[in-house]
Amino acid sequence: MFYAYFPVVNKETIKILTSIYGYKSSFWELWQQRKAEYFKAIKIEKHLLTIPMVSFEQYSNLADDKSAFGKIAIDSLWVQSNTQNKAVYEKLLLSHRYFSVGFQLYDDVKDFARDVRRGQFNWAVYQLQQKVDFAEAQHEPNTLHKYLFVKGVGQDLLKEAIVQFEKAKAVVTELNIPSGWLQTIEQMISTIQSYLETTEGYLAVLKTTLALKKERNTAPFFNFSAVKEESIHKGLDFIEQDFRQHYAELKHTMYLGNAEGFENTCQVHTSDTFQRALLDDCLYTIAQRYRLPITSFFEEEYHYFMERINPEVGAWQYFPSVQEIAPDIDDLAQIMQFFIHIGKKDEIAKHCQKAIDTAINSRTCANGGIETWILPKHNLTPLQQKQQYFNESKWGTGPDVEVVANFLYVLYLYDPKAYLSVIQKGISYLFSQQKEEGYWESRWYYGNYYGTYVCVRLLQCFGEQYTNQIQRAVNYIKTHLPTEPLSIALALLTLKTVGLNTDETAIILQEQLLTTQNILGGWEAMNFIKPKVYEPYKSETLTTAYALKALCF
């Protein structure tokens, strides 16, 4: 913890301390004691690497000695009090010891991979060696780091760290003295609890995903034998393999736990409602290109979506099992597009009109943007109030450029005359958000190409009316060629949307896209949706679908 402090103590520091305590103060005896503890820790740490068995007491002593510099602060206060209240002094040192052990445990879990590489003693490494043969894992730090949590070692050490911090807190609480030290301890407990929950959440998500892949779907996929182009046929075959697993790879699974304020019957949530709508949009393009018999397949998809609609709102939630997440206009827009594609526009008026009206009448902003979440502005129910709180505190209310563009696009497909004023005002908002370089930045999607694609797709509906904005976006793509497959597909789709199929840049992007197809027929999963920081959603199935759509458009 305080491993490198003693070597950097310079003469100036000694002068300052001497001016405070003088040469003959008992402080210097304590100083020498702490200095000795620190250097002893260096030797002990090296020694522990050479012995087969290490006790927790030995480890605790090491942690205590490594943090010797911290004890000097307590020593100095005691000396300044004329060595009064020795009982308080000793309790503070005991609290500091527990704190140091707890912090070292936490630090060892966090620094596991680094210490494996460096060959430094680490209690987490030592404990995992009792359960895993490092040689079988070829001593690979990242692989061993996964084992740390799969085997439960990391979680156990984090829980023990909390126990040590609780002991530190109990000791100082007995003193009944207002102290920032108590706040520091509580902050560490909170930090580790959050880290532990995130870790356990990750494992729960992993287990759920593995369980999903074991299921087998015997329902019929659509017949694509008419597709003779090898790359397209292999890509569809790849998608069908995930279909056979009930789209286990396509699904988005997240851990949204109680510690973050979520109150649901379970803490692991899985959904593919939005992903299926995106996928079906891509499959529709492919089916149109090759005139594939897809009607029956899409009819089953229609029923799938209708089983998941929130009938009170007339729209869909990204995670139906999370009550704190309101229905949103992005899900609504994507599924409306699907209904229009398959000739079920009448179902929109029957089931979704309330949601459309709520979004437009209650959530349209002065700048023409429309907020993402479908909630009334006034007279919210208790559940809607909770959803609004989460929107404001966690997700953001919007408007979000790419979501607005997607919604306006489906309004144009649905009833361009009825919604012309809404669309035009919304387009003014989109113009205000176009970056100087020509692209649109997304809130919910990685990269600059998805937002640019959906904005250009909307503007293209109006012919030459918005040529300037479209050309700026095209120029951006031509001067910023993407290199990863999902962005390549989205950039290529943008160019093809405005009729640039034979443009030199489009040809280059198409060739690049074909070269990135893997041997199984799919394309690599790339970060796509960003629901939470550092928790991206990505999917091989969806990247493959967009790649095929771009190639067939």
Identify which has the larger pLDDT, 470 or 71: 470
User: CATH no. for residue 153?
Assistant: 1.10.600.10
Specify if 243 maps to a domain: yes
If asked whether residues 31 and 73 sit together in one domain, one would say yes
If asked whether residues 419 and 528 sit together in one domain, one would say yes
If asked whether residues 439 and 518 sit together in one domain, one would say yes
What pLDDT does residue 2 have? Answer: 37
What pLDDT does residue 147 have? Answer: 86
Q: Please, is 418 exposed, middle or buried when counting C-beta atoms within 10 Å of its C-beta (0-12, 13-18, 19+)?
A: exposed
Angle at 397 between CA 456 and CA 482, to 5 degrees: 35
User: CATH no. for residue 385?
Assistant: 1.50.10.20
What pLDDT does residue 3 have? Answer: 39
What pLDDT does residue 83 have? Answer: 67
Domain endpoint, select from 197, 232, 256: 197
Specify if 463 maps to a domain: yes
Say yes or no to pLDDT of 108 above 70. Answer: yes
Say yes or no to pLDDT of 175 above 50. Answer: yes
Say yes or no to pLDDT of 382 above 80. Answer: yes
The total number of structural domains in the chain stands at 2
Q: For tokens 């008026």, name the residue.
A: 349
Specify if 125 maps to a domain: yes
Specify if 6 maps to a domain: no
Angle at 474 between CA 470 and CA 478, to 5 degrees: 170
Domain endpoint, select from 136, 163, 197: 197
If asked whether residues 409 and 545 sit together in one domain, one would say yes
What pLDDT does residue 9 have? Answer: 55
If asked whether residues 122 and 242 sit together in one domain, one would say no
Q: Which of 27-31, 81-85, 432-436 has the lowest mean pLDDT?
A: 81-85
What pLDDT does residue 404 have? Answer: 98
**pLDDT average, residue stretch 434-457:** 97
Distance between CA atoms of residues 124 and 134, nearest Å: 13
Say yes or no to pLDDT of 283 above 60. Answer: yes
Specify if 8 maps to a domain: no
Say yes or no to pLDDT of 371 above 90. Answer: yes
pLDDT band at 212 (very low <50, low <70, confident <90, very high): confident
Range of the domain at 536: 215-552
If asked whether residues 193 and 238 sit together in one domain, one would say no
DSSP state of 328: B
Specify if 205 maps to a domain: no
348, 414 contact by CB (below 8 A): yes
Task: Give pLDDT tens digits for 222-268.
Answer: 999 999 999 999 999 999 999 999 999 999 988 888 878 889 888 88
Domain endpoint, select from 163, 197, 231: 197
If asked whether residues 175 and 243 sit together in one domain, one would say no
Distances (CA, A) of 363 to 185, 349, 432: 43, 20, 18
Specify if 206 maps to a domain: no
If asked whether residues 143 and 219 sit together in one domain, one would say no
- The answer, as to whether pTM is greater than 0.85, is no
Say yes or no to pLDDT of 333 above 90. Answer: yes
Mean pLDDT for the chain overall: 91
Task: Give pLDDT tens digits for 537-547.
Answer: 999 999 999 99
If asked whether residues 135 and 51 sit together in one domain, one would say yes
**pLDDT average, residue stretch 195-217:** 77
Listed in sequence order, the DSSP H helices in 382-448 are 382-390, 401-414, 420-433
Contacts of 246 (CB under 8 A, 6+ apart): 212, 215, 217
Contacts of 227 (CB under 8 A, 6+ apart): 233, 236, 286, 290, 292
What pLDDT does residue 4 have? Answer: 41
Specify if 5 maps to a domain: no
**pLDDT average, residue stretch 112-116:** 90
Say yes or no to pLDDT of 286 above 80. Answer: yes
pLDDT band at 215 (very low <50, low <70, confident <90, very high): confident
If asked whether residues 384 and 517 sit together in one domain, one would say yes
If asked whether residues 272 and 350 sit together in one domain, one would say yes
Beta-strand runs (E) in 233-284: 252-255, 268-271
Say yes or no to pLDDT of 461 above 90. Answer: yes
If asked whether residues 180 and 241 sit together in one domain, one would say no
Say yes or no to pLDDT of 335 above 80. Answer: yes
Q: At how many degrees (to 10) do helices 180-213 and 153-175 cross?
A: 160
Percent of the chain with pLDDT over 70: 98
